[in-house]
Structure 1
Amino acid sequence: MDFSKFFDDEFNVKDWLNQAFRLQKDSNQTLDNYAGTLITKLQMYIQEMNNSIEETSQQAIQHFPRVMREVDLLKHDATLLQEQMRSVRGDIQKDTAEGMRNLIELDLVKNRIQSASKALHEADNWVTLSAQIDDTFESKDTVQIATKLIAMQQSLKILTDVPDYTDRVQKLEKLKNRLEALISPTVVASFNSQDVEVARSFAQVFQSMERSEQLEQLYVSCAKNRIETKIDEIIETNDSDHETILISLYDYFSTVWQDETRWCMKIFSHPIRVVLALLLNGLKLFHEKYKSRFDNDIREKDANKQLEILLSCKRVSQEY
């Protein structure tokens, strides 16, 4: 009889019984006798297994106190190790914190030394440039003048705590005004001729000197005469036909918006601001030139004609 099947992971009672009773056919025993014999063998096997389990249990019980003692020793050792690690970690943290404080202090000292060195360098640079700037102006070399003024400006940003800081700022502003006056004719010429490359180079200079707004104002002033001439032409050409005047004016301003936006985007950092300033100036010019003429013309008309003119002007304005 094969009892090893009981240890298989996929043991099946029904299959084992069927196999066992198939062996009965090969023996000379009756079914009842064979079954009794099989039960007896199973009981003996069970008893044998019980004895084995009992023996194993006794051995385990005998060894259990020793295992527990070893576990206690391991637990004690682990506790000691934990305490030692906690102590070491505390020492490391203490040393690390102290080291970090030292590093922070050293870095602070280093930064202060670097700042002081930079300030001394810029102070020396300011003195040198201040001594050279008048001769550079005499040379009329606008590129060199601008380069030196920009360098002086950079130095001044570091020297904000010097006693004569305000005087230096005023001196630098006067020098910038002097350069602006020197290059303004050339700048205006580049604006009038729509020379993109020259105008862009001047825009970079003004931006570096933190005077972009002054350049924008200069361009608006240059464009004023051109816009004013066109407004005069629109008013005079249409001979008090108010509706036609407004249509022509709005068409012109629409063209100005498109053309000037394309141009200003190539030159200025804030092109829309410049174009809006141009249009606002144009509207002010038109108002100054046309208001009294419009008022006088309206007064000379009867009520119906006045209403007709006003409605036509309103309609044109709404369409645009």
Structure 2
Amino acid sequence: MDFSKFFDDEFNVIDWLNQAFRLQKESNQNIDNYTGTLITKLQMYIQEMNNSIEETSQQAVQQFPRVLREIDVLRHEATLLQEQMRTVRGDIQKVNQDTADGMRNLIQLDSVKNRIQSASKALQEADNWVTLSAQIEDTFESKDTVQIATKLIAMQQSLKILTDVPDYADRVNRLELLKNRLEALISPAVVVAFNTQDVEMARSFAQVFQSMDRAQQLEDLYVTSVKTRLDARIKEIIDSTNGEHESIFIAIYDYLLNVWQDEIRWSTKIFNHPNRVTLSIILNGLKIFHSKYKNQFNTELQRQQTISSKNRLDILIACKRVSYRKVKKRKRKRKLKVPS
């Protein structure tokens, strides 16, 4: 007989009895004997379960005081842990507060240090300005352009710190006058470097002008120096074409294109804005050509009064046609250079 069915959650006594008597029929045992045996087994099983329950109860009763003691110990330890956590939390809050106060003090000290350094630097620069200002005239008399430039750059740096002094505007004006004197002093040497295409010398002058915030003035000086060369060459081209207007335009456009290519290469080595410099040179060339060609064209018209209006118009149309072809050709070349 399977007594394990009693442990099933869905135990049904009727099903169990039916199963038990079904086994009796299959074994052909006497029903009274089978029933008596089954009852005896059930009683023995009940007795065994009672003994087990009693034994378990005795063990539980014996262990209950120890469990209570352990519960008391755990409760005490939990109380101690709670107190320790409260203490640690207080310590953490104190550390955070102390850290915050310390950081505020550090920030304040750093701010004070920076102010002291700024004040010290301002005093040093003020003293430096006075010293340099007293020395600059002697340096100009020596005509040592390198030393002059060095002192002017140092004075310029000092002025950047002394923006709040009462005589700041006067100092700025004095520095600009000194820069003008230096520029006038070195301009001849700069022009020589430009005319001889001396890259190293031109670069050294460019560094000086850039350090003095006068890069634009150096560019203007270079554009002016090139203008004389343009003027002479354009006049030569116009004079050499024997009044053939279409040939004049072709030669001028070819010349200015070569000038553009040469100047962009040169200016890139010297200036921070080579495109601006080159464009100024080309514009000057066009202005020179316009002025000289206009004068020659008007002179020719006055000299040849017999030229009809139609012939005059034909000359202008031919010149425009040359200009159009040159521009169109230039655009086509630029498109070919664009990567696909």
- Normalising by structure 1, we get a TM-score of 0.75
Aligned partner (choices 191, 196, 213) of residue 193 of structure 1: 196
2:311 corresponds to 1:301 = yes
Pairs within 5 Å for 1:1-320: 58=60, 62=64, 65=68, 68-291=71-294, 293=296, 299=309, 301=311, 307=317, 309-320=319-330
Looking at structure 2, the residues matched to 75 and 298 of structure 1 have their Cα atoms a distance apart, in angstroms, of 121
CA shift for structure 1 position 75: 3.8
Structure 1 stretch 228-237 or stretch 213-222: which is displaced more?
228-237
Looking at structure 1, the residues matched to 191 and 313 of structure 2 have their Cα atoms a distance apart, in angstroms, of 49
Which residue is 2:5 aligned to? Answer: none
Structure 1 stretch 264-273 or stretch 128-137: which is displaced more?
264-273
One-letter amino acid of the counterpart of residue 316, structure 1: K
Q: CA offsets per residue over residues 11-50 of structure 1, 9 Å max, x none?
A: xxxxxxxxxxxxxxxxxxxxxxxxxxxxxxxxx9xx99xx
Structure 1 SS opposite 2:166: coil
One-letter amino acid of the counterpart of residue 196, structure 1: V
| Root-mean-square deviation (Å) | 3.1
Structure 1 SS opposite 2:311: coil
Contact kept in structure 2, 1:242 and 1:313, CA below 8 Å: no
Q: Structure 2: which 5+ residue stretches go unaligned?
A: 1-44, 302-306, 331-340
Structure 2 SS opposite 1:301: helix
Structure 1 stretch 244-253 or stretch 210-219: which is displaced more?
244-253
Which residue is 2:6 aligned to? Answer: none
Q: CA offsets per residue over residues 62-102 of structure 1, 9 Å max, x none?
A: 46555554544444334333322221111111111111111
Looking at structure 2, the residues matched to 104 and 163 of structure 1 have their Cα atoms a distance apart, in angstroms, of 31
Looking at structure 2, the residues matched to 78 and 174 of structure 1 have their Cα atoms a distance apart, in angstroms, of 81
Contact kept in structure 2, 1:246 and 1:316, CA below 8 Å: no
Change beyond 3 A, Cα 1:282–1:84: same
Change beyond 3 A, Cα 1:71–1:299: farther
One-letter amino acid of the counterpart of residue 151, structure 2: K
Looking at structure 1, the residues matched to 81 and 242 of structure 2 have their Cα atoms a distance apart, in angstroms, of 108
Which residue is 1:13 aligned to? Answer: none
Looking at structure 2, the residues matched to 145 and 298 of structure 1 have their Cα atoms a distance apart, in angstroms, of 65
Change beyond 3 A, Cα 1:151–1:310: closer
CA shift for structure 1 position 280: 1.6
Looking at structure 1, the residues matched to 288 and 185 of structure 2 have their Cα atoms a distance apart, in angstroms, of 29
One-letter amino acid of the counterpart of residue 108, structure 1: S
Percent identity, please. 55
Change beyond 3 A, Cα 1:65–1:136: same
CA shift for structure 1 position 175: 0.3
CA shift for structure 1 position 236: 2.3
Looking at structure 2, the residues matched to 90 and 109 of structure 1 have their Cα atoms a distance apart, in angstroms, of 28
Looking at structure 2, the residues matched to 66 and 252 of structure 1 have their Cα atoms a distance apart, in angstroms, of 112
Contact kept in structure 1, 2:249 and 2:319, CA below 8 Å: no
- Normalising by structure 2, we get a TM-score of 0.71
Looking at structure 2, the residues matched to 298 and 121 of structure 1 have their Cα atoms a distance apart, in angstroms, of 79
CA shift for structure 1 position 205: 0.9
Looking at structure 1, the residues matched to 309 and 77 of structure 2 have their Cα atoms a distance apart, in angstroms, of 114
Looking at structure 2, the residues matched to 209 and 92 of structure 1 have their Cα atoms a distance apart, in angstroms, of 54
Change beyond 3 A, Cα 1:309–1:135: closer
Structure 1 SS opposite 2:201: helix
Which residue is 1:16 aligned to? Answer: none
